[in-house]
Structure 1
Amino acid sequence: MQVGEQVQLAPVTVASDLGVRDLWAALAAGWSDFRACPVFGLFFGAIYVGAGVFLYFALFQWGAVAWLIPAAAGFPLLAPFVAVGLYEVSRRRELGLPMSWPAVLGALRGRGDEQILCMGVIVFVAFGFWLMIAHGIFAVFMAESGIGSESLALFTTPAGMVMLAVGTIVGAVMALAFYAVTVMSLPMLVDREVDFLTAIIVSLGAVRSNRFVLMTWAVWIAIALFIAMVPLFLGLLAALPVFGHATWHLYRRAVPGGQIAHGAGVQAA
């Protein structure tokens, strides 16, 4: 893919001419990575599926099944951090480096400077913040209705439908803001030796310079993850790794300056 117009952000150059064709190209490359190294994709997908299934049965056991919807809606907030290992797989495949579990899992530690761990803290704090907001929305709309959280039937009531609409709008705004912060920053932290604040600035700049295309990508991810979660989260076994690998390739198109480092993320062992 040829790089055209660019924008300088801090020490990094960001492309400003992304098109929908780049999204399809990224998906194709992501599918190719998944097919070439399926065991890693299935492993990270299985973590997500396992967490979702556990949450599903735990909420039923606790009589709080209504919390399944806000919890599932917050799952996409965690996906970028789970995908860090997938970025490393794509990076190593691009460089022709050998694949190994220590190398791929070691990407979660970053370059030993705790930058990815700092982003991980932000990810999980955001997820917790979303659950707090969801609890507040529930309290505002349902406190006087006499309906508890033990049944999904509450969402069919007038108050429940309004609550669901408000929660969807608030959640969408939070998810888009968080997406703008992480979509390019986490791949960049795997790729290059930069601090997480610089990576966040670059990610926000890339979204601002390619607003339509990267917002389209966000919608594609949201729709794919929603559909994948319907069959007891099992669709995430494929959806998460394919979109994770694809996001790496989209990052490489959007942040083209310089060559990816052989020593980025973890040692090339």
Structure 2
Amino acid sequence: MEAATDAPIAPVRVARNLRFSDLVAALNAGFADFIACPQYGLFFASIYVGAGLFLAVALFQWGEPLWLIPAFAGFPLVAPFTAVGLYEVSRRREAGEPVKWGAVLGAIRGKGDEQLIMMGGIVFVAFSFWMIIAHGIFAIFMAESGVGESLEAFTTPVGMAMLAVGTLVGAILALAFYAVTVMSLPMLVDREVDFLTAIITSLAAFRSNRPMLVIWAAIIAIALMAAMIPAFLGLLVLLPVFGHATWHLYRRTVRDAD
């Protein structure tokens, strides 16, 4: 695919002509990576699934079942960071390098410059910020409504209004966070750049390919939400496939500068 410069971001250029066929090709390549090295995908996905199940059980034990919905809605925000090891698997397969546990797990530390760790901090802050916003929305709609703190509260008019507002606000925040991370995290695995450069590149790629990358975001969001319904178990396959596929979409989008 011919890439064109959208913004003067050294030392890379970003494509401006992503098509739906690129998304399909990325998904096919991601599935091929998962089939070739399933142990890595299952390992990282199982950590994610285990964390989700722990969160669900903890919220019930704490008597806070209402927080299941905002927690599960915000949980996909941390998915890109859990896919860092998968990016390394795809990178190594593409480069013809041996895929070994030490190298894959080592990729989570980044290239020794703490840039990935800083991005991990941003991911944590984003999830925490969403939970704070969700708490504020809950307080506004429910504080004086007289509706009990149970899941049945979402079936009331006040609860449905809260869901509508929360969904809209959450979608805006998730799209902004997605634009920041969709190319920056694989770029930090691929190149020795600082996290600000990676974020700027990701935003430039999103701006230049907004229709296709919004479609990509929608595909991921819908698929991950559906996969979370059966006790998160669908994520054992979908999370690795989308993780690998995101790497291949990054490689189609971010190129070396001339």
Counterpart CA distance in 1 for 2:220 and 2:115 is 25
Counterpart CA distance in 2 for 1:77 and 1:148 is 28
Q: Which moved more, 1:170-179 or 1:7-16?
A: 7-16
> Are residue 99 (structure 1) and residue 99 (structure 2) matched?
yes
Aligned residue pairs total: 257
1:4 deviates by 4.2
Q: Which residue of 2 aligns with 1:220?
A: 219
Counterpart CA distance in 1 for 2:154 and 2:6 is 46
Aligned CA distance change for structure 1 residues 112 and 4 (closer, same or farther; 3 Å) = closer
Q: Which residue of 2 aligns with 1:145?
A: 145
1:214 deviates by 0.4
Say which SS state the counterpart of residue 6 (structure 2) adopts.
Answer: strand
Q: Which residue of 2 aligns with 1:208?
A: 207
> Are residue 3 (structure 1) and residue 20 (structure 2) matched?
no
TM-score (norm 1): 0.93
Q: Which residue of 1 aligns with 2:178?
A: 179
Gapped regions of structure 1 (runs ≥ 5): 259-269
1:58 deviates by 1.3
- Given residue 50 of structure 2, which amino acid in structure 1 is its aligned partner? G
- Given residue 163 of structure 1, which amino acid in structure 2 is its aligned partner? M
Divergent runs of 4+, >6 A: none
> CA-to-partner distance for each residue in 1:20-79, whole Å, 9 max, x for gaps?
000000000000000000000001110111011111111111111110100000011101
Say which SS state the counterpart of residue 256 (structure 1) adopts.
Answer: strand
- Given residue 199 of structure 1, which amino acid in structure 2 is its aligned partner? A
- Given residue 57 of structure 1, which amino acid in structure 2 is its aligned partner? V
User: How large is the Cα RMSD of the aligned pairs?
Assistant: 1.2
1:13 deviates by 0.6
Q: What does 1:1-269 correspond to in 2, within 5 Å?
A: 2-11=1-10, 12-149=12-149, 151-257=150-256
Say which SS state the counterpart of residue 21 (structure 1) adopts.
Answer: helix
Counterpart CA distance in 1 for 2:198 and 2:8 is 10
- Given residue 136 of structure 1, which amino acid in structure 2 is its aligned partner? G
Q: Percent identity?
A: 70
Contact 1:3 1:253 in 2 (8 A): no
1:120 deviates by 0.3
Counterpart CA distance in 2 for 1:221 and 1:6 is 27
